[in-house]
Amino acid sequence: MVALPEHRATRDDTLAAMRDGAGVICQAVLDDGRFGGRADFLLRTDGASDLGDYHYEVVDTKLACETRAGTVLQLCLYAELVGEMQGLPVERVMVVSPGKSFVAEVFRTAHYWAYYQLIKRRLGKAVDEVAAETYPDGSCDDL
């Protein structure tokens, strides 16, 4: 198991641990320059990818007893970023919560992918519109 440093870890640290074939990567930093986050765990799984004869799946832990839609969207983002890093789409993501006796709840990314892409596109558009309207606004040019 590789536990990445809490505050200093980077996407490159995560990728290095993936290339080294770590069985479990804790607090994996995932980032594409626009969207990002920290997956609680990446679990090594058998099956070919650009990394070798293995690839990774995403596992997140939550305190809520029921998995919410926002959690599935978050995990789809993580799956997309991990998929880009390993050259193989992530087929499933998992949520572990105390309400399920700590048994992983499995979600197939293909079942949520179209909705995830729609929400991501809309979020990106909204952020771009707000950024275009508010920054830079020129109010600090004379300072």
**What pLDDT is attached to residue 5?**
62
**What pLDDT is attached to residue 95?**
95
DSSP 68-80: -HHHHHHHHHHHH
**Separation of alpha carbons 135 and 116, rounded Å:** 27
**Separation of alpha carbons 14 and 36, rounded Å:** 13
Give the percent of the chain with pLDDT over 90: 68
Where residue 67 falls among pLDDT bands split at 50, 70, 90? Answer: confident
Q: Which long-range CB contacts under 8 A does 104-113 form with residues at least 24 apart? A: 104/59, 105/67, 107/67, 107/72, 107/75, 109/75, 109/76, 109/79, 112/72, 112/73, 112/76, 113/76
pLDDT tens per residue across span 117-126: 999 999 888 8
Lowest mean pLDDT across 66-70, 81-85, 135-139: 135-139
What are the residue ranges of helices labelled H in 10-137?
11-20, 69-86, 113-134
